[in-house]
Every structure is written in C-alpha cells, then in structure tokens.
Amino acid sequence: MSASHVLDRLSVTADDASLIAGAGLVLPATLGRRLGLPELLDTQVTAGPHAAQKCLTVIHSALAGGDCIDDVDALRAGATAAVLGHRVAAPSTVGTFLRSMSWGHARQLDAVARRLVVRAAAAGALAGGTAPVVVDIDATLVETYGLAKAGARQVMRTGRRGYHPLVAVLAGTGDVLHARLRRGRSNDATGAPSFVAETLARLEQARAAADRSGPVVLRADSGFYLAEVLAACRRRGVGFSIGARLLGRMRAAITAVPEHRWTPLPYFEPGAAVAELDWVVFDQHRTTPASNWRGNGLRVRLIVRRTPTPPGIRERRAGRTGRVDPAQQELFPTFEYHPFITDQPGDLVELDAFHRGHAEVELAIRDLKYGFGLNHLPSGRFGANQAWLVLQTIAHNLARWTARLGGIAATARQTVKTLRRRYLAVPARLIRHARGQRLRLPTGWPWATGLLTALTRLRALPEPAG
C-alpha cells in the first residue's frame, strides 16, 4: 500500500488575526462583568497601574487552562482579547506585577474574592447549597522544589518542601469561600481559628445577600480540633462536626466501650461499627472565655467509627515481616478508631456518614490543583504566591458560577475540565462589519446550543448595585 502523503501536502501558516482559540471565555468574562469584578479590582487593589487588567489576565488564563505565568501569552494570540473585554498583559508584565505584591496587596485581592462571593450569592449562584448549609475546611500540601521560595525552604514532615494552604469549600456546590497560604512547616492548626472566623463571616454575608436562612454546619478533620474553633462556631450559632484527636483519656474511654454498644455499619467494610459517648471537650482549657462554655468544658456527642486493622499494618506494628495470609483469622482482632465530635441531632450511623462526606472537599482541591494553577506557586515571594492562590480561587468560582447560572452544569461535581472542553475552548472567528462584531462558531459543534443559551442567561443578569 502506497502512502497518500495528504498530510505532507497540507500547508500550515499562522497569519489569521481574527481567529480565537477559546471563544467560550466570553461566558466567564461576561459573568465577571455582571458581578462587577473589573471595578472591584480597580478600586480595591493598589499594586501599581492597571492592576485590574493584570489580575484579569491571570484569571482568564487559568480558565483557559494556563497553570503558569508564561501561559498568559496564549491569550494574546489572534483576536482573543475581543471575548475578554480587556487588554491582555504580557507574561513579563504579569510576573513583575505579582512580584511587587506584598501580603497587604494579597489581602486586598482577598477582599475582592469575598465581595465577589457575596455578589454571586445575590445573583443566585449559591442557591444549590444543601440544607443545612455545610462548610468543609481542610489543608493541602503544594510541593515546591529548590530553596528560592519564601516560606517553603524548610522540609515538611512529609520530607518534601512546599506550602500548606487552608481552603474552605461550600459542600454541594464546590465553591471556594476562602483560601489562605501558609508556610510549609505550619502545624495543621496554625491560623485555623482566625481562618474559620473569617470563613463563617463571609458565609453569613453571602447568605444575607441571597436572603437565605437556616442551619449552618462546619465540617473539618482533627487538625481543627481546637477550643478556639468551637468558640468561633458558637459565636455565630454554627453547628460543627470535627474530627477528634485520639489522645489520653479519650483512647481509654473508647477502648472500654462494651461490645453491645457498637452498631454495625452495613455500608462499610465487614467488622466496621460505630458507637457514641457523652463527652466534655477542653475542660482543662483556660484561654477561652468561660461564657462560651458550659462550666470549664463543652458537652458534645463523641461518635467513634472503628474499622478492623489491615493485616499489613498489624504485622508492621508487631515487628513481624513476611507475607500475610488474608484468610488467617486473628484470635483477638484489633481496630482502628476514628472519633469526631458534633452537636448535631440524629442517628449516629447517619451522622457518621455525614461526617465522612467531608472528603468531598478533596474534589475542589483537586480541581484547583489539576484544573487550574494551584499545583505549583510560581514566585519566590510569599505575597505573590498568596495573590496567585486567590486569583486561582476566583477563576475556580467563576467557572462554577458560569456553569450554574448559565444552566450548563450537568452535576454539582462537574469539573472545569468538562466545562473547558465543551464550552470554553471552542474555536471561533471574529467577523468585523460596520455595525459591530460577530463570533462565528464551527458548524456542528456539539455544545453550541448550550453555549448560546448560557450567554443569553448571563447577559440577562442585573448589574451589581454597589
């Protein structure tokens, strides 16, 4: 069989100034305009001239799939700026801008993110939350390499270098309410009380803007097992479901629970069960105001899930090596215990399933890392990296609000990869004529109808009041 060499005869040139690689970026750009994002950036961020253009360049680059500063150059190709509504800054300009940002400038960006959440809530973007409204708070590790990054030079307990940011996510929607960068060697609880207080204040403002009421519950792992965190929840009337640290008298009390008090978990692995204890937490704590507690401590429900210890872990703890026979039954089985404290009413089996739902926060973190640019932080300056983190969360939220308000979200767990492939990355040609401009999408694009419908719905949103 002889080759046709058809591809070899295909002539390729890069000379069309009217082509757009990601015409669907007009959707989040339109939503940003409707929420007043450019004006917020202009009035709030004081890090040099044209700060709004530079921030929007990073945000739209992240929405287009860029995960480093150099990737913003893709937005300068062809007529892409026409669907963004602003001048696209060069990579060198963006890099200089980010490096000039102090921690105070990063906090200005954080204020923009907070006000944007409130405006999105007023527009109906948060209407998909669960009842009660659940906030998941977690920390994640962002690995870095080398010694040039401030706050990431020391080796963490994992043996790697990096940062240890905190992230607060609204369960059921995946929206990021708050994010704060921390140095890599930070303890899990470092800055947790103030972070929780700021997150709950933002949620309260957003719910007031959306005219929504009802219970709120904070979910977190044992890194947030602090008296100050519970005090912050109680000040705002927020419920909690927080992992407990299995230390001291708690371990002894759990191992002393009689067998008849353990309720099997039918949806978990064989041998798994759950039990409940009446418990008083932080009864020796002296720094929290006594008015926040009942006596010297707070009485809570302590719910414990136990699971059989896997054979490999059991052998290592015993100091034995070699192959473990899975069929070999242990005469006296051992268990792993996973306690958490809560003030929520209900059946303990249902509460255990509710608390394990905290793992959904990892879906949002995964999207931030592998759908946007959080997998690495590009600068050696701590303030620049905090600014980068906030800009990525703004891009993440714009993507989710675009899908929700535009009516193109298949599920609450839809990732930005799906949104980008179907809607944001559609190519188009910009046609100019005497009366304006027109975007021509490819014939037969499978999701063209959804894109046009979403654009109509987003353009119908009212402008922000102030």
- Domain assignments of the chain as residue spans, ordered by start: 25-323+330-418
pLDDT tens digits for range 60-91: 999 999 999 999 999 999 999 999 999 999 99
pLDDT tens digits for range 191-231: 999 999 999 999 999 999 988 888 999 999 999 999 999 99
pLDDT at 2: 56
**Sign (positive/negative) of CA torsion 312, 317, 323, 324?**
negative
How many CB atoms within 10 Å of residue 418?
16
Name the DSSP class of 68: S
* CA gap 213, 133 in Å, rounded: 9
pLDDT at 3: 58
Contact 184, 162 (CB under 8 A): yes
Helices and strands in the chain, H and E counts: 14, 14
**Phi, psi torsion values for 188, nearest 5 degrees:** -55, -35
- Cite the beta strand spans of 21-154 per DSSP E: 133-139, 142-144
Name the DSSP class of 71: G
Confidence band of 311 (pLDDT split at 50, 70, 90): low
* CA gap 420, 65 in Å, rounded: 8
Quick one: which of 222, 223, 224 has its CA closest to 337?
A: 222
Residue with tokens 């998909």: 128
What SS3 class is residue 439? Answer: strand
DSSP string for 346-410 = S-HHHHHHHHHGGGGHHHHHHHHHHTSSTTS---SSHHHHHHHHHHHHHHHHHHHHHHHHTT--S
How many CB atoms within 10 Å of residue 87?
12
pLDDT at 284: 60
- Quick one: tokens of 130? 């669960």
pLDDT at 75: 96
pLDDT at 290: 42
Amino acid at the residue 385: N
In the chain, the percentage of residues whose pLDDT exceeds 90 is 69
* CA gap 406, 255 in Å, rounded: 52
Contact 69, 91 (CB under 8 A): yes
Its pTM stands at: 0.90
Confidence band of 415 (pLDDT split at 50, 70, 90): confident
Angle at 434 between CA 428 and CA 438, to 5 degrees: 20
Quick one: which of 17, 26, 33 has its CA closest to 454?
A: 26
**Phi, psi torsion values for 450, nearest 5 degrees:** -65, -40
pLDDT tens digits for range 369-387: 999 999 989 999 999 999 9
pLDDT tens digits for range 263-275: 999 877 788 999 9
What are the distances in angstroms from CA 272 to CA 263, 307, 330, 337, 345? Answer: 9, 4, 15, 10, 22
Contact 303, 355 (CB under 8 A): yes
pLDDT tens digits for range 242-295: 999 988 889 999 999 999 999 999 877 788 999 999 888 887 644 444 444 444
307-342 burial, b at 16+ Cβ within 10 Å, e below that, comes to bbbeeeeeeeeeeeeeeeeeeeeeeeeebebbbbbb
The DSSP bridge partners found for residue 428 are 20
Quick one: which of 38, 149, 30 has its CA closest to 99?
A: 149
| N-terminal to C-terminal alpha carbon distance within the chain | 70
